[in-house]
């Protein structure tokens, strides 16, 4: 793997793609800086070599032009504090200001460019735009795993301008190492735990996992489509009716491949989508009309926990219920505890997919007690589906 360890950055300007797409509150305070902290080792390596760093990132989903609320200026103060130096800022990621500020950088300095997605050319993967970004640096480094599944100008196309001077940053290398370990070298028994809202988002992943795992646990909102497909009553729970035949097909395929599927035995139901709703526990497939399933029940927790605790490799993507509401977070919390127990007591390797699973692990302060929490949601899913990520291919080719 071509990592920055193979480069001495002395007197070089590194054009570094990071994923600083961090959540901000209404006053633009960062509510979770994990992604920024994760990029610090790469930045520091370049600076310690005697190089300078030009940081590029996106933030939020601007509609193709500048929008103050999505300015990366909001994170400048925190970034400067984290690096213990004054990070410079260019209010445009290309053009005269960016060119001048990049030109004037001296070793040891860091320049942050304004949000790349203020140009629609970024997401279009426009080559001319990528060329303008490329002109700012001597070496290209990609440390943005969270956007590695996108063929955008800054994540993929820009690498074409650095045929011999392109590298993975430490975060990318670590993410790929851990994903690879689970995808291709999993110690058995290998259990995947799938949850979250929609079956449709995870079908490809489930299909590809059937060739690798011994056990597949399915919980969260997506389990109700399975329950309905099997003839159960699910009240007003989440349902993707058009996916019901596919659910049955997946169950059939699992049987043929010898994969054990574990679906919830019981479910915690609510009379409305509210933390303070009336709630009770019923068997799967016996949800009364006008009630909705928002969490897995105690019998499911016991069953799932047992399977997890006996596993040697664990991949978890998606919560077991609406964990954002404390009264419906018990199932997700119990799964976190089981994954932690397997990791600590059974020496299992546990990889937690980004997105909501990472948020759940963080909510329960268990990030340090599992093997690895990925910073990539979609990127990790696509990697696990067996797709070649454009951001990875661009460095490897």
Which residues are the active-site residues? Answer: 35, 198, 355, 378
- Looking at beta carbons, which residue is closest to ligand AMP? 196
How would you write the chain as a 3-class SS string?
A: CCEHHHCCCCCCEEEEECCCCCCECCCCCECCCHHHHHHHHHHHHHHHHCCEEEEECCCCCCCCCCCHHHCHHHHHHHHHHHHCCCCEEECCCCHHHHHHHHHCCCCCCEEEECCHHHCHHHHHCCHHHHHHHHCCCCEEEECCHHHCCCCCCCCCHHHHHCCCCEEECHHHHHHHHHHHHHHHCCCCCEEEEECCCCCCCCHHHHHHHCCCCCEEEECCCCHHHHHHHCCCEECCCCCCHHHHHHHHHHHHHHHHHCCEEECCCEEEEECCCCCCCCEEEEECCEECCCCEEEEECHHHHHHHHHHHHCCCEEEEECCCCCCCCHHHCHHHHHHHHHHHHHHHHCCCEEEECCHHHHHHHHHCCCHHHCCEECCCCHHHHHHHCCCCCHHHHHHHC
Nearer to ligand AMP, 72 or 381 (CB): 381
- Tell me which stretch binds ligand AMP (CB under 6 A): 60-68, 101-109, 192-200, 228-236: 192-200
**d(C-alpha 158, C-alpha 360), whole Å:** 34
Among 51, 221, 264, 285, binds ligand AMP (CB under 6 A): 221
**Count of residues interacting with ligand AMP (CB under 6 A):** 16
C-alpha span between 333 and 298 (Å, rounded): 12
Interface with ligand AMP in residues 244-263 (CB under 6 A): none
Per-residue interface string for the shown chain with ligand AMP, residues 26-65, x marking contact by CB under 6 A: ----------------------------------------
The reply to whether 268 sits near ligand AMP by the rule CB under 6 A is no
Q: What's the min distance (Å) between Cβ of 54 and ligand AMP? A: 33
Site string for ligand AMP, 128-167 (x = CB under 6 A): ----------------------------------------
Nearer to ligand AMP, 129 or 291 (CB): 291
Q: Does 285 bind ligand AMP (CB under 6 A)?
A: no
Q: State which residue, 87 or 322, has the beta carbon closest to ligand AMP.
A: 322
Residue 238 contacts ligand AMP per CB under 6 A: yes
Pick 169 or 196: Cβ nearer ligand AMP: 196
Q: Is 324 in the site for ligand AMP (CB under 6 A)?
A: yes
Q: What string marks each residue from 64 to 103 as x (binds ligand AMP by CB under 6 A) or -? A: ----------------------------------------
**Binding marks (x or -) toward ligand AMP, 329..368, rule CB under 6 A?**
--------------------------xx------------
Q: Does 277 bind ligand AMP (CB under 6 A)?
A: no
Residues 348, 338 contacting (CB under 8 angstroms): no
Near ligand AMP by CB under 6 A: residue from 137, 146, 220, 297: 220
What are the structure tokens assigned to 59, written together? 């933030």
Kindly state whether residue 264 participates in binding ligand AMP, applying the rule CB under 6 A. no
- Nearest approach in angstroms of CB 317 to ligand AMP is 7
Residues forming the site for ligand AMP (CB under 6 A): 196-198, 201, 220-221, 238, 293-294, 318-319, 321-322, 324, 355-356
């Amino acid at each position: 793997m071509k990592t920055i360890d193979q480069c001495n950055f002395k007197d070089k300007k590194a054009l570094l793609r990071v994923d600083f797409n961090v959540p901000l509150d209404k006053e633009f305070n960062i509510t979770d800086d994990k992604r920024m902290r994760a990029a610090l080792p790469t930045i520091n390596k370049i600076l310690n070599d005697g190089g300078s760093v030009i940081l590029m990132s996106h933030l939020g989903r601007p509609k193709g032009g500048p929008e103050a609320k999505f300015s990366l200026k909001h994170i400048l103060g925190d970034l400067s504090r984290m690096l213990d130096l004054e990070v410079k800022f260019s209010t445009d990621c290309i053009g005269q200001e960016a060119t001048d500020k990049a030109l004037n950088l001296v070793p040891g300095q860091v320049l942050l460019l304004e949000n790349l997605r203020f140009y629609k050319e970024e997401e279009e993967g426009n080559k001319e735009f990528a060329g303008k970004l490329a002109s700012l640096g001597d070496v290209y480094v990609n440390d943005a795993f969270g956007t590695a599944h996108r063929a955008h100008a800054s994540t993929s196309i820009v690498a074409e301008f650095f045929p011999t001077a392109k590298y993975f940053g430490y975060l990318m290398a670590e993410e790929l190492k851990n994903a690879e370990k689970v995808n291709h070298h999993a110690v058995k028994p290998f259990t995947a735990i799938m949850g979250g809202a929609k079956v449709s988002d995870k079908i490809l992943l489930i299909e590809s996992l059937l060739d690798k795992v011994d056990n597949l646990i399915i919980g969260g909102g997506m389990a109700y489509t399975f329950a309905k497909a099997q003839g159960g009553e699910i009240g007003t729970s989440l349902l993707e009716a058009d996916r019901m035949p596919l659910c049955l097909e997946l169950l059939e395929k699992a049987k043929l491949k010898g994969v054990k599927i574990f679906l919830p035995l019981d479910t915690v139901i609510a009379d409305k989508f509210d933390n303070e709703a009336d709630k009770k526990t019923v068997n799967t497939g016996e949800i009364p009309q006008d009630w909705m399933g928002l969490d897995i029940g105690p019998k499911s927790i016991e069953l799932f926990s047992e399977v997890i605790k006996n596993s040697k490799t664990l991949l978890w993507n998606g919560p077991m219920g609406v964990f954002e509401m404390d009264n419906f977070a018990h199932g997700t919390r119990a799964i976190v505890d089981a994954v932690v127990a397997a990791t600590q007591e059974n020496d299992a390797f546990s990889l937690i997919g980004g997105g909501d699973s990472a948020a759940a692990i963080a909510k329960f302060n268990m990030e340090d007690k599992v093997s690895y929490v990925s910073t990539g949601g979609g990127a990790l899913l696509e990697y696990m589906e067996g797709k070649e990520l454009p951001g990875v291919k661009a460095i490897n080719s």
